[in-house]
């Protein structure tokens, strides 16, 4: 507490000493002797340097170190009188009121202006520690922005063309108000036709040039944007397809599709269009300010005084508007998700008669979105009102002072008209500049989300190199412990060990939810066990080359997913140069050939979206053919019985048994079909409870025996 008070006392003493030193120097700089000795400009700049050094040293001595905000303030504060005076003398050959002498009013004006500028800087580009989080975010935005700019490299020619036309358009547009004022002056004074026609001609030429250039600029930039969007979409898509399955389970589908469709477009469009608007507005603003200066530098300074107020208002508005927009977008994504879910599961909705319930749920989500939208719009209206009021106040001031200057002969009526046209544009331009700068930083956040996925390293590595010429197909599960990443609390497999031998059929049986499908997922490397390892021919799965491994292992899941396209496309999915004989052979083994032949277009029949034009059993058989056509070393059938009748299942198993040295893993509920398996494994609570042949397990009278009896009772129980 005492330390804090001491620090405060030091700060107050520092302030008093610095102000006294500075005031003395400021007054001394006004002494006539210095003017005579050093000349006008030299004395101004020397005094600025002296004041800067003196106040900096005093502050350093008392405070020990200087914060960036204080350095900026001191620099602006010491240099402002010199800059202001030099500018006035060079540009207008006049001396300002603060030029020859130095009084307290000038000193206070410069101090106030510097403090305002430093605070404005601090709010827009913060430096202080309290704002460190926000500063970091802005720095991150800049890095992201530069990355987007680099990604535009293939389209630099288009961008360059766009920039050239942009500059031409700005130059042309800038001169139109100037000639408007000129026409008014010509009409108002001694009318000369030649002058009038020349002014009209130039106005026409500039208008035409401006429109042409603006059109070309827009066209070139749109081309650049669409080419960029295509490139980044492909990059993102590639990155997404490499992610592990757990990623897709933890991230909502709506979020992924929104990244792919919306954020990629936003990244390309906003950055490119923002740069376009930013440059155009910046050039226009600079040009306008210099033209306005030439019309009346005093009125121009008056107009520029509005800038910090507008900037601050814009900054506050942007922060709230962006936050509410983000919340609204999230709410919209949730609304779309719920609609998608219902469309996807419309059969369930209909059969459970929950149409009304789903409509109410959708309405709830819509209400949430609507309320956020209303709040966002209210913020916008308040901002617009404040903006209009400041603009109006400024226009009244301009008219008041403009009339005074006309009376004093410092400007003509035409000049004032041109000035007012420029001023109304300038206000919009300055607002656009502040807005675009903020918006650009915010919009690159969309790019940030896209890059987050592009840069994401899949948690299951695909860096294995092993591609042996010969593969036996011996699988060993060694002491696996596993919990799904989306539910890490629940251990699904516990010290799970099992051996699958080449040329043998292993069947996993057991009650539902005990971990059979999980064994298959781990063997496919869809997930990585937390402990233990799965070996293939004695080597860890992750040491095998990703493509090699997935050519050697084929899975037919409970509900195989087909993709739109023909039956042939689906069977040969991911393969090139696959002969018709090979396709047909696989289809025969899968008991699919006969039904395909009865179709009008045979193997060229379209299966529809997700195979929707085929029955469940037909989809299943095509899924089996797709697995077998690869001639894999290891085949996994995950409860194919759920959609196949007993006859089809028997045929499929016979077909598979005819492949020599294939390791076959079957998960089955219908125990009858796996009686002939070389090894039957009962999985319970994530562990191997029993294993052996059908005969051995029946003799043991354990779990398998019990399961068989339960199923037998189920089948024979009176309906
Ligand atoms: N993707 C997942 N995320 C989280 N938990 C999961 C996931 N998939 C399965 N589980 C859980 O893991 C446990 C084992 O599931 P698994 O699908 O392996 O059982 P199963 O024996 O194959 O059952 P079934 O015979 O019904 O297919 C279950 O409790 C299940 O709820």
CATH number, residue 182: 1.20.1560.10
Burial 667-686 (b: 16+ CB within 10 A, else e): bbbebebbeebebbbbbbeb
120 shares its domain with 142: no
Distance CA 214, CA 162 (A): 9
337 and 365 Cβ atoms separated by less than 8 Å? no
Residue 536, φ and ψ in degrees, nearest 5: -120, 120
For the chain, the domain total comes to 4
Nearest ligand 1 atom to the CA of 518 is 18
For residue 450 the two structure tokens come to 């896209």
Distance CA 245, CA 2 (A): 59
Tell the residue number behind the tokens 């490119």, with chain if given. Answer: 272
Its pTM stands at: 0.61
Ligand 1 atom 30 nearest Cα: 513
479 shares its domain with 578: yes
Q: What is the pLDDT of residue 32?
A: 52
Pocket test for ligand 1, best of 498, 513, 555, 703 (most atoms within 8 A of CB): 513
Nearest ligand 1 atom to the CA of 245 is 1
- Per-residue confidence band for 131, with pLDDT thresholds at 50, 70 and 90: low
Residue 36 has pLDDT above 70, yes or no: no
Q: Is residue 461 part of a domain?
A: no
Q: What is the pLDDT of residue 10?
A: 72
Ligand 1 atom 9 nearest Cα: 518
For residue 180 the two structure tokens come to 């408007």
Q: Is residue 600 part of a domain?
A: yes
646 and 567 Cβ atoms separated by less than 8 Å? no
564 shares its domain with 692: yes
286 shares its domain with 405: no
Q: Is residue 437 part of a domain?
A: no
DSSP 261: I
Q: Which residue has the higher pLDDT, 223 or 118?
A: 223
606 shares its domain with 622: yes
525 shares its domain with 666: yes
Q: Is residue 438 part of a domain?
A: no
pLDDT tens for 149-170 read 888 889 889 888 988 888 888 8
Residue 50 has pLDDT above 50, yes or no: yes
Q: What is the pLDDT of residue 718?
A: 46
Q: Is residue 420 part of a domain?
A: no
Pocket test for ligand 1, best of 247, 518, 556, 559 (most atoms within 8 A of CB): 518
Calculate mean pLDDT across residues 317-337. Answer: 83
pLDDT tens for 257-295 read 888 888 888 888 766 777 778 777 887 888 888 888 888
Pocket test for ligand 1, best of 514, 641, 669 (most atoms within 8 A of CB): 514
Q: Is residue 427 part of a domain?
A: no
Residues within a 6 A CB radius of ligand 1? 249, 484, 486-487, 492, 512-518
Nearest ligand 1 atom to the CA of 510 is 21
Ligand 1 atom 31 nearest Cα: 513
287 shares its domain with 304: no
For residue 521 the two structure tokens come to 């997922």
CATH number, residue 524: 3.40.50.300
Pocket test for ligand 1, best of 251, 507, 511, 516 (most atoms within 8 A of CB): 516
Q: Which domain, by its residues, includes 558?
A: 475-716
For residue 379 the two structure tokens come to 């913020």
pLDDT tens for 535-580 read 998 899 889 998 888 888 888 877 778 888 888 988 888 777 788 8
224, 201, 204, 222: which is closest to 212 by C-alpha? 204
Ligand 1 atom 24 nearest Cα: 512
Ligand 1 atom 20 nearest Cα: 513
Tell the residue number behind the tokens 């190199």, with chain if given. Answer: 465
Length of the chain (residues): 719
Calculate mean pLDDT across residues 645-653. Answer: 71
| Torsion angle defined by CA atoms of residues 195, 197, 201 and 203, in that order, rounded to the nearest 10 degrees | 70
**Paired residues of 499 in beta bridges:** 476
96 shares its domain with 138: no
Distance CA 709, CA 703 (A): 10
Burial 473-507 (b: 16+ CB within 10 A, else e): bbbebbebebbbbeeeeebbbbebebebebebbbb
β pairing state of 687-692 and 679-684? antiparallel
Calculate mean pLDDT across residues 139-147. Answer: 78
Q: What is the pLDDT of residue 375?
A: 92
Burial of 187 (0-12, 13-18, 19+ CB in 10 A): exposed
Torsion sign over Cα 628, 630, 632, 638: negative
């Amino acid at each position: 507490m005492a330390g804090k008070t001491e620090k405060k006392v030091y700060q107050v003493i520092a302030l008093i000493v610095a102000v006294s030193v500075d005031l003395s120097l400021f007054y001394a700089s006004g002494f006539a002797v210095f003017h005579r000795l050093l000349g006008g400009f030299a004395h101004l700049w020397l005094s600025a340097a002296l004041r800067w050094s003196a106040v900096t040293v005093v502050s350093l001595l008392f405070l020990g170190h200087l914060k960036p905000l204080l350095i900026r303030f001191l620099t602006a504060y010491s240099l402002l009188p010199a800059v202001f005076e030099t500018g006035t003398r060079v540009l207008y050959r006049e001396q300002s009121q603060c030029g020859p002498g130095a009084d307290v009013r000038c000193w206070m004006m410069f101090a106030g202006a510097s403090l305002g500028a430093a605070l404005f800087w601090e709010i827009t580009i913060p430096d202080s520690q309290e704002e460190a989080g926000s500063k970091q975010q802005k720095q991150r935005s800049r890095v992201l922005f530069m990355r987007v700019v680099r990604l535009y490299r293939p389209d630099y020619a288009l961008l360059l063309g766009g920039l050239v036309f942009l500059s031409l358009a700005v130059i042309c547009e800038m001169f139109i108000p100037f000639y408007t004022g000129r026409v008014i002056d010509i009409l108002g004074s001694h009318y000369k036709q030649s002058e009038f026609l020349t002014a009209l001609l130039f106005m026409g030429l500039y208008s035409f040039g401006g429109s042409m250039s603006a059109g070309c600029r827009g066209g070139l930039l749109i081309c650049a944007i669409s080419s960029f969007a295509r490139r980044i979409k492909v990059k993102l898509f590639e990155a997404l397809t490499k992610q592990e399955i757990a990623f897709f389970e933890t991230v909502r589908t709506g979020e992924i599709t929104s990244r792919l469709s919306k954020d990629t477009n936003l990244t390309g469009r906003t950055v490119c269009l923002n740069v376009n608007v930013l440059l155009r507005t910046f050039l226009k603003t600079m040009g306008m300010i210099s033209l306005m200066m030439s019309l009346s530098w005093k009125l121009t300074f008056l107009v520029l005084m509005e800038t910090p107020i507008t900037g601050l208002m814009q900054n506050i508005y942007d922060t709230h508007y962006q936050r509410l927009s983000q919340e609204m977008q999230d709410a919209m994504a949730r609304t779309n998700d719920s609609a998608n879910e219902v469309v996807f599961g419309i059969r369930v909705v209909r059969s459970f008669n929950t149409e009304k319930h789903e409509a109410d749920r959708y309405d709830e989500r819509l209400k949430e979105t609507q309320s956020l939208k209303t709040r966002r719009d209210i913020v916008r209206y308040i901002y617009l009102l404040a903006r209009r009021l400041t603009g109006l106040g400024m226009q009244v001031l301009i008219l008041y002072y403009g009339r005074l200057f006309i009376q004093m002969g410092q400007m003509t009526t035409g000049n004032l008209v041109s000035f007012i046209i420029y001023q109304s544009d300038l206000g919009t331009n300055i607002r656009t500049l502040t807005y675009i700068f903020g918006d650009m930083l915010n919009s690159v956040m969309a790019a940030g989300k896209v890059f987050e996925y592009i840069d994401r390293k899949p948690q299951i590595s695909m860096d294995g190199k092993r591609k042996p010429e010969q593969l036996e197909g011996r699988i060993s599960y060694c002491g696996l412990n596993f919990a799904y990443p989306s539910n890490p609390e629940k251990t699904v497999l516990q010290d799970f060990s099992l051996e699958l031998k080449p040329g043998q059929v292993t069947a996993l049986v057991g009650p539902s939810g005990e971990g059979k499908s999980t064994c298959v997922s781990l063997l496919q490397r869809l997930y990585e066990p937390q402990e233990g390892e799965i070996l293939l021919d004695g080597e860890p799965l992750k040491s095998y080359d990703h493509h090699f491994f997935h050519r050697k292992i084929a899975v037919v899941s409970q509900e195989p997913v087909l993709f739109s396209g023909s039956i042939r496309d689906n069977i040969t999915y991911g393969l090139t140069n696959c002969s018709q004989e090979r396709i047909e052979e696989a289809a025969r083994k899968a008991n699919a050939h006969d039904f395909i032949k009865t179709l009008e277009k045979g193997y060229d029949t379209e299966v529809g979206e997700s195979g929707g034009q085929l029955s469940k059993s037909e989809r299943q058989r095509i899924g089996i053919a797709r697995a077998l056509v690869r001639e894999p070393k290891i085949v996994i059938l995950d409860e194919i019985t759920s959609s196949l009748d007993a006859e089809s299942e028997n045929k499929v198993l016979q077909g598979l048994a005819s492949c020599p040295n294939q390791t076959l893993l079957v998960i089955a509920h219908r125990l009858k079909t796996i009686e002939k398996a070389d090894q039957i494994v009962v999985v319970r609570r994530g562990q191997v409870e029993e294993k052996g042949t059908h005969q051995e397990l029946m003799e043991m009278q354990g779990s398998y025996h019990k399961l068989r009896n339960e199923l037998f009772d189920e089948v024979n129980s009176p309906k």
